[in-house]
Amino acid sequence: MERREQILTIAGHLFSQRGYHATSMRELAKHLNLQGGSLYAHITSKEELLLEVVRQAAERFLKVLEGLKGDPVAKLKGLVRGHLEVIAQELPRATVFFHEWKHLSPPLLEEAKALRRRYEEGVQAVIQEGMEQGVFRVENLRLATLFVLSALNWTYQWYRPEGPLSLEELSEAYATLILRALGVEAREEKGGEDG
Amino acid sequence: MERREQILTIAGHLFSQRGYHATSMRELAKHLNLQGGSLYAHITSKEELLLEVVRQAAERFLKVLEGLKGDPVAKLKGLVRGHLEVIAQELPRATVFFHEWKHLSPPLLEEAKALRRRYEEGVQAVIQEGMEQGVFRVENLRLATLFVLSALNWTYQWYRPEGPLSLEELSEAYATLILRALGVEAREEKGGEDG
């Protein structure tokens, strides 16, 4: 792993575990076996590091959107699976993307907000497409989007892929619950097996 | 407000905004216009404060469960409304209950976990009752419970009661989405108005 990538990985761990403000550059340097000063050969500030971790997480989440294919139900299922996979594989970065970003100050804060907004809008577009095709029945697109993101995001608090529940099982169960919330009947969604 | 209550309120604000580890007793004393030392006339440690804030939040959430009445749909609606109301009214404490509690160490950590578990179990009991009465159709009780809590909890990140969306509107929209996820048709739920 390149030095800079290593720094970002450790920074993601520390920010997500202890919180951004509670993580000092000194501590970061210690975890990297570096002298405090030599960290600055690789990065300019702690805040820049925080934004960089947010960017890495955003990139992973945005890639999920790019990979979605098929009808609205297939896209929604892919979104659920992909989103939960990013959380499972990149827990520290995802935690920073969900929680620690707010400690940024302008203008870095604006970039983080824009990245988060871009992802939200992508999720919203998936739901909107389903509404327009008459597959999803939703009263309020914006609230439905926040609801879906809420249900997915919170898993960072409790889901651990090494636990008894596989990512596959979690994704299927969540996709079923979310599709039903969006007005898709289990019957349609499972292609008749159920009815 | 009594001195101790005032300390807990300010502690809740600081822990939720900056994070537990980043909040020093010194800073807390400053916000209270106290000498650092005189804080210790009221409390024994920063960690004890954190647990106390968690306890206060737990008490509010558990009161919601106690107040639930009626059939499973009514109880679920009351739960959604009550849970979102606690978040809206007690945002700092709720944030600590959701996020900062994990910085406790044993044995205080165990008490916080037990309080969180007690609430989760109460929510689970509401869903289970609906399943047993054949009102909710849910494949996996535990996952459905986590799903409902996820959707509700995450609102602490974005919902602000002074914004354009009233608590009433949010609660209704979320109750509709959650009830549908639990297999209750909009038709039944709205008593036919919709169909």
Cβ A177–B146 below 8 Å, yes or no?
Answer: no
Neighbours of A163 (CB within 10 A): 9
Cβ B154–A154 below 8 Å, yes or no?
Answer: yes
For position B38, what pLDDT does the model report?
83
Mutate to test the interface with B, among A102, A113, A167, A180 (most CBs of B within 10 A): A180
Instruction: Give CA–CA dist A151/B88, Å, rounded.
Output: 18
Cα separations (Å) of B184 from B62, B110, B189?
Answer: 25, 36, 7
A189 band by pLDDT with thresholds 50, 70 and 90: very low
B190 and chain A in contact, CB less than 8 A: no
pLDDT at B21 over 80: yes
A193 and chain B in contact, CB less than 8 A: no
Both tokens of B97, joined, read: 């209950």
Both tokens of A119, joined, read: 């992802």
What is the domain partition of chain B in residue ranges?
A: 54-189
Nearest Cβ partner of B151 from A137, A139, A147? A147
Domain formed by A52-189, architecture? Orthogonal Bundle (1.10)
Cβ A181–B183 below 8 Å, yes or no?
Answer: no
B2 band by pLDDT with thresholds 50, 70 and 90: confident
pLDDT tens digits, residue range A109-140? 999 999 999 999 999 999 999 999 999 999 99
> Which CATH number does B54-189 carry?
1.10.357.10
Helices (H), chain B: 3-18, 25-31, 36-39, 46-66, 72-89, 91-98, 108-132, 141-153, 167-181, 186-189
Q: How far is A94 from chain B (nearest CA, A)?
A: 14
Q: How far is A37 from chain B (nearest CA, A)?
A: 23
For position A63, what pLDDT does the model report?
98
